Amino acid sequence: MVTAQSLLQDVDGALRADQHEVAACAGRVLVLECLGIKGISNGGEQIWPPGGVAFDCFANIAEADRADALALMDRGARVDSAAAGQAWLAELTTLVSDLEASLDIAGKLPVLRTPEGMFGAMRMTRGAFEVAASMDLVPIFPDAWTMDLPPTS
């Protein structure tokens, strides 16, 4: 879902910049990502590489959902105005919201990446250092990333 959230923001940003082709590409990947997530509950793979050619995101999806996804991607490829872009973005937002609601996760998922940066992810990571240390796991960041820097003159 983190990837889906990020892709939705990418589509929004591209539409705001009047970059319809970029929005269509990001939207296509978003729809495919949502299909992959939806397919998990039907026996699909739980992990797949982004853009992985061996992963078929349509494999565990009902025929009606496949048709809806293809039509949604097609509408994105045909966006040619700000109004059409906003209408398509609303459809994508609904797709992501409905998918998240279908996952039976208690509460709303945090937004980890915003146009301002990865501050949500950094907030979540803050507590992970202590958890990793208490469980004798490898550090979250390599030692070289957390060493004190020598004073500058």
Q: What is the pLDDT of residue 121?
A: 67
Residues 13-26: what's their mean pLDDT?
A: 96
Cα dihedral sign, 60-48-99-102:
positive
- Residue scoring higher pLDDT (66 or 153): 66
Residue 18 pLDDT greater than 70, yes or no = yes
Tokens (6 digits) for 117? 């940066």
Alpha carbon distance 55, 48 (integer Å): 7
Over residues 45-96, the pLDDT tens digits come to: 777 666 667 778 888 899 999 999 999 999 999 999 999 999 999 999 999 9
Other C-beta atoms lying within 10 Å of the C-beta of residue 25: 17
Q: What is the pLDDT of residue 119?
A: 65
- How many residues appear in the chain? 153
Within 8 A by CB and 6+ apart from 100, the residues are: 1, 108, 109
Q: What is the pLDDT of residue 46?
A: 74
Among candidates 41, 34, 99, which has minimal Cα distance to 66? 34
Q: Give the residue ranges of DSSP H helices in 103-147.
A: 119-126, 128-134, 143-146
Over residues 112-149, the pLDDT tens digits come to: 776 776 666 666 677 777 888 888 888 777 777 777 77
